Amino acid sequence: LGGFALDALYEEPGRADDELLDFKNVLLTPHIAGQFRTNSLKDYEDLVGGLARALAP
């Protein structure tokens, strides 16, 4: 398995000491399926910005 992505954690909000955070090939995102559409654009902007910072050389 080359990586793992999860959009919902067993416990939300997630714990800062979650063992999954130790792996470089794991992507965790907050579960946002139930949010209002008006909140989604800002959330996606934050997500893309965070990914860009994380993947920057």
pLDDT tens across 1-57, in order? 788 888 777 777 778 898 888 888 988 877 665 566 667 788 888 989 999 999 998
28 burial (CB, 10 Å; 0-12 / 13-18 / 19+) is: middle
Strands 4-6 and 26-28 turn out to be parallel
In the three-class reduction of DSSP (H, G, I as helix; E, B as strand; rest coil), residue 57 is classed as: coil
Range(s) of the domain holding residue 16: 4-55
User: Which tokens is 47 given?
Assistant: 């997500």
pLDDT at 53: 93
pLDDT at 41: 81
pLDDT at 35: 61
In the chain, the number of structural domains is: 1
Tell me: cis bond preceding 57? Omega within 30 of 0 counts.
no
